[in-house]
Each structure stands twice: as structure tokens, then as C-alpha cells.
Structure 1
Amino acid sequence: MKVLVVGTRNAKKRQEIIAALAGWPVEVLDLGSFPQAPEVIEDRDTFEGNAAKKATELAVALGHWVLGEDSGLVVPALNGAPGVWSARYAGHGQDDAANNAKLMREMAGKSDRRAHYVTVAAISNPAGEVVATVRGECHGAIVTEARGAGGFGYDPYFYLPEYHKTFGELSASVKQAISHRARALEKLKGLLPRITGLPASRQETASSSAP
């Protein structure tokens, strides 16, 4: 593997993924480099299913290795919602503000405020075969009012007790170190020897020389 394509058009998500992959001994591109890339319909009922679908369909279409990722917020008091529908919770075409407004309506009067973010990342080879799948989670709670302007999605409402802050209040560097996405991609880095075929010494050298 010499090139890895990150299969997302979400600018903020793309920034987080590319930052987390810094030091990989491969060139990391995103869909902005491939205007012909097809739009993948996320119609699976699990994060794993959506991540695999994005990775395989894009890998075959582009002829490259592709990282497909699906993330979302899981709230036990809402029977797991928004879940795989996190980006479309208020309906197709709606924005973060609409999704958060719906979350607040659904959580009104709920005493159980527990929640966790999930990221599942899958890597497919150009033949459309998934060679690795990893999952990362970050646990917290839903607050009643938005706090902070950082991040995206439900971040201003996702509170981490150990930091006494929401994701929206955390610095980008801290979030990138502890988030569900960071945890999933850190697991993926551990699979580098098998995925890339490069010896561990080259990977360590690449990581140590990364900015």
C-alpha cells in the first residue's frame, strides 16, 4: 500500500482522521482528490456495516486502498438512538443544529443522561476486500445546554466527567488524543505491519519523523 484514501467528504471529520494518521508510511488522500468518486449510501443498520460498505465500494471505484469510517452517538435512554442515523437524526439534509435540537427534545425529562460516541473504521484493498476493522468508543453524558463551540455534531452536548468539559470545550489536540475516532485509529496503527507490508522498523522511523 502506497496510497490510502480517506472515504469522507465531511471536512471536519477528514481533518481529524488525517491528523490521527500522521506518521503512517503511506500517502493519505481524501475524496477531494477524486471528484469522480461515487456517493455511497449509508443504509446498513450497524456502524460496522456502513464502514465496510463505504470502504469496499470506494476502493473498487477508485482502484485504491480506502479507509471507510462510520461514527455516531449512542444514547441508552433513547434505545441507542441516534446511532447510525446520527448525521441524519433530524432528517436528510438537516444540519448539526437541527440534529441537536431533536436530541434535546428527545432527552427532555430523561434522568439517565449516559451516552457514548462510537467510531468504526474499515480498510479495504482495491479488490473490495475488507482487511481490517476496528472500533473505538468514548463514554460520557448528555448535558442540557450547549457548551463550547469546538468540534462538530453533538460535541457541545457531549460531556466528559473526567475533564469537566464537553467535547465542544476541549482543545482540538486533547480531543484528537482521547476521542472515539482517535481510539479506533490508534488500534488501526497497530495493524500496520500486516496492512502495509512494511517492516516495523520503517513504520517506527516514519512515526518518529512525523511533525
Structure 2
Amino acid sequence: MGPCLADGPNLATILGMNVEPTVDPPLLVIGTHNAKKGVELVELLAPHGVAVQTLAAFPEAVEVDETGATFAENARLKATEQAKALRCWVLADDSGLEVDALDGAPGVYSARFAGPACDDQANNRLLLEKLRATPAQRRGAQFVCSVALADPAGTVRAEASGLCRGRVLEALHGENGFGYDPLFLVREYHLTFGQLGREVKRTLSHRARALRAILPSVLSLVR
């Protein structure tokens, strides 16, 4: 069973990125329904000449229940289930925020911290409420990302992880990024991901670090 091939312009081209053209490259699908996360991953991979699409291009993509107890388990689930459904190479991630004072919460429940139908605003409000009496020196936290690469048969071929340490602030700062970005102070810059530009985030974020770790496997397998 061969990998599905790129058909038409990939998302990197649509985003206006200058990518070296290739002939019928195997297609790598980003296994997320989160549009903003998908764009971040595409931007990280595009300079390396990988033909990339998100699940938005595939009506047959499945909804994967994130039943894993860890980010790594959820990343594997999303990669393998989507790969089998689409018969493509799939790179999936699971990521979230771990707050020291909350014993690692919200963790794997980061996207649904305030409930199944919540949004970023509700999650941030709940986090601020839970940390209301926590002093600045005890608001340490880290963003964590696990990524998994599955072949078209649904077999995991590579895994990696990355993290970014910082601190949760007492109020939102900045409008860039998504999720908890406006609350997360990046130690190296003394600014939140909500205040920093995308170039900085592509260097320092947990997702960028996980992608750099798995990139050699992606380039050796999906080309």
C-alpha cells in the first residue's frame, strides 16, 4: 500500500511560502482539526519541501477520541487512526499546559478544561480563577507537545516531544497565538506568546521543539 500523493497546491503554497517544487511527493497530512495549530505545523514543515495538507482537505477524516492518559498516547491515537482512515502519512500532535501549582493540570484536558463545549476564553477564565490566590513565584508552568508520525498502514514510525517552561500571569497580555498563549510568560523574552510574533514562537515553542526533534524522521520517510 503506497502513500497518497500530493494532488494540487498544498497548504504551504496557499500560504505563499517559497518551497522547492518536487514531483509527485508523498503527502503528509497534519492530523488535527484545530485550524490554528494546523497552520503552525505547516509553517514549521514548509521550508523543508514536504507536501503538507491539513484535515480540512479530507471530508473522510475521522474524529478521534482522545482517551490517552498522556500527550504521547493521544498523539499516537490521532496519528494512527487518521492514517488508517486516509491511507496517508499522518503527523499528529497532542499538546497542552501543565501548571505546577495545579499538580500538572490542565494537562491532557487543556483544550476542554472548562468543559467539552468550551472555548479559549472559558479555559483562560477558569485557569485564572484556580490560580487567583497563587503568588507569582508559584505560578510556574510548561507547555508540552508530543508528536507521532504514522505510515499509511497506521503504524507509528517516529515519535518526539518538546516543552517550553514559563509562568502563568495574572491577566491576559497580547492577542497573538491561541489557547493559553496570552497568559503564558516566556522566560527568555519576558513576554507572553500572545505578545510575541510568530517567528519567535516558531523557535521557542513546545511544538517547534517537538517538530525539530521528529523532523529527521519525517524527511527520511515521507519523501
Q: Tell whether the structures are fold-level matches, with TM greater than 0.5.
A: yes
DSSP-derived class of the 1:190 partner: helix
Superposition map of 1:60-139 within 5 A? 60-111=84-135, 112-139=138-165
User: What CA distance in whole angstroms lies between the structure 2 residues aligned with 1:30 and 1:177?
Assistant: 22
Structure 1 segments, 4+ long, off by >3 Å, are none
Could you list the per-position Cα deviations for residues 23-65 of structure 1 after superposition, in whole angstroms to 9, with x for gaps in the alignment? 3343111101101111111111100000000000000000001
CA contact (8 A) 2:173 2:183 kept: yes
Q: Percent identity?
A: 47
Q: Aligned residue for 1:170?
A: 196
Compute the displacement of 1:153 (Å): 0.2
Q: Give the Cα–Cα distance (whole angstroms) in 1 for the partners of residues 214 and 48 of structure 2.
A: 11
Alignment match, 1:151: 177
TM-score using structure 2 length? 0.85
**1:169-207 superposed Cα distances (whole Å, 9 cap, x missing partner):** 0011111111110111011112245423x5xxxxxxxxx
Whether 2:68 is the aligned partner of 1:44: answer yes
Q: What is residue 207 of structure 1 aligned with on the other side?
A: none
Residues 96-147 of structure 1: per-residue CA shift (max 9 Å, x gap): 0000011011111113110000111100011111010100100000000110
User: Which of 68, 78, 81 is residue 57 of structure 1 equivalent to?
Assistant: 81
What TM-score comes out, normalization by structure 1 length? Answer: 0.90
Unaligned segments of structure 1, at least 5 residues = 199-211
- Across the aligned residues of Structure 1 and Structure 2, the Cα RMSD in angstroms comes to 1.2
Deviation at 1:84, TM superposition (A): 0.2
> Matched residues in 2 for 1:152 and 1:3: separation?
27
The one-letter code sitting in structure 1 at the alignment partner of 2:62 is: P
Question: How far apart, CA to CA, are the structure 2 residues paired with 1:60 and 1:24?
Answer: 25
* Distance of aligned partners of 1:98 and 1:193 in 2 relative to their CA distance in 1, 3 Å threshold: closer
